[in-house]
Amino acid sequence: MTSNFSQQPSGGSGRSSLAYSRSSSRTLFNTVMTVLAFVCGILSLLPLLSVLIYVLLRGFSSFSLNIFTQLPPPPFGLGGGFGHAIVGTIIVVALAALFSIPFGVLAAIYLTEFSSGKISRWVRFATNILSGVPSIIAGVFAYAIVVLTTDTFSAVAGGVALAILMLPIIVRTTDEALQLVSQDLRQAATGLGATKFQTVSQVVLPAAVPAIVTGVTLAIARASGETAPLLFTALAFQYWPTSLFAPTPSLAVFVYNYGTSPYANLQSLAWAAALILVLLVLLTNIIARWATSRTLK
């Protein structure tokens, strides 16, 4: 009996040491993976920070108020600006938003509120495919449909190309926003005697507006920085835009053309244009984040 009692503490001590060893291993593994995840997160930010810092340093070196009001100088000239490209970018993106937002929002409303399951699945599948189409393909399509038809490069052609790229983003974000609206709101409106159209237009859609605005701003941010579609459609122009059916300048194409120029002054203007373009994209993303925060509240 004495020997049996004397063996029990040793067995309990072995089990406790084994449990401590396992706990220590889990703690060590958890610490290592936490540190690894943190390091990977920092490394993922390095490319973004590097690009932003480099663009800021190069862009601010040639930044002045004249860039907003003047046209590009001759190759050997000094000074100048790209105000025409800023105006052209606003025009083309505004046309793209005008073409894509109504169609995208109405398509999402149909998918969520009115379509059958089979049709909605096929439309969502087609939207996902369209979102993966390279931007240059959208430019070639708009070139064949609009440029060859009107026999001229134009802001309208550029707006059509960018609208093709914006459309799947707007459809998907609006679709998801409408699905997040509580079914209780729909049932309450129906119980009060509202028709399907009244329920969607006066209850569901207003509740999803902040999320829809988020999707629209993200789509605009993507369209603002596209270059390839505009090379096939809006082309470039050295003067202020005069017509929607004429070649139209844009910041992205301006950076592409002048960034490869052999003249130092034109290269500095390209860096300043890149800075303005980055700030515009950053501004639209800030608006999207602000709209998302209002949605969460």
Per cent of the chain over pLDDT 90 is 30
Among the residue ranges 23-27, 145-149, 254-258, 288-292, the one predicted with the least confidence is 288-292
Q: Can you say how many angstroms the Cα of residue 63 is from the centroid of all Cα atoms in its chain?
A: 26
The verdict on residue 106 lying in a domain is yes
Measured distance CA(113)–CA(196) in Å, rounded? 9
* 56 confidence band (pLDDT: 50, 70, 90): confident
Residue 165 · residue 229 · CB < 8 Å = yes
pLDDT at 295 (0 to 100): 54
Q: What is the CATH number of the domain that holds 264?
A: 1.10.3720.10
Q: What is the pTM of this model?
A: 0.81
> Tokens 């025409």 map to which residue?
84
| 50-56 average pLDDT score | 86
pLDDT for residue 7: 46
Tokens of 248: 């139209």
pLDDT at 6 over 50: no
Backbone conformation region of residue 80, classed left if phi is above 0, alpha if psi is from -120 to 50, else beta: left
What's the sign of the alpha-carbon dihedral 9, 15, 16, 21?
positive
- The larger pLDDT score, comparing residue 29 to residue 247, is at 247
Tokens of residue 91, six digits: 């025009």
Looking at residue 15, what is its pLDDT? 62
pLDDT value at residue 121: 86
**C-alpha angle 96-99-101 in degrees, rounded to nearest 5:** 95
> Exposure of 249 by Cβ count < 10 A (0-12 exposed, 13-18 middle, 19+ buried)?
buried
Q: Is residue 59 part of a domain?
A: no
Let me know if residue 221 belongs to a domain.
yes
Residue showing tokens 């709101």? 185
Q: Is there a domain that residue 31 lies in?
A: no
**Residue at token pair 């049996």:** 4
130-142 pLDDT, tens digit per residue, is 888 899 999 999 9
Q: Report which of residues 25 and 86 the model is more confident about.
A: 86
Which amino acid is it at 110? Y
Task: Summarize pLDDT for 215-260 with one digit per residue, the tens.
Answer: 888 899 888 888 999 999 998 888 899 899 999 999 999 999 888 8
Q: Is residue 60 part of a domain?
A: no
**pLDDT at position 20, please?**
58
Owning domain of residue 107: 65-173+213-296
Angstrom CA distances, 297 to 90, 203, 209, 293, stand at 31, 18, 13, 6
Residue 162 has pLDDT above 80, yes or no: yes
pLDDT interval class at 288 (50, 70, 90)? confident
pLDDT mean across residues, the chain: 84
- Whether 9 shows a pLDDT value over 70: the answer reads no
- Percent of the chain predicted with pLDDT > 70: 90
The verdict on residue 205 lying in a domain is: no
Given a cut of 60, whether residue 10 has pLDDT beyond it is no
Q: What is the per-residue pLDDT for 158? A: 94
How many Å separate Cα 152 from the centre of its chain? 29
Q: What's the CA gap between 89 and 236, in Å, rounded?
A: 11
Q: Is residue 41 part of a domain?
A: no
Structural domains counted in the chain: 1
Q: 242 in a domain, yes or no?
A: yes
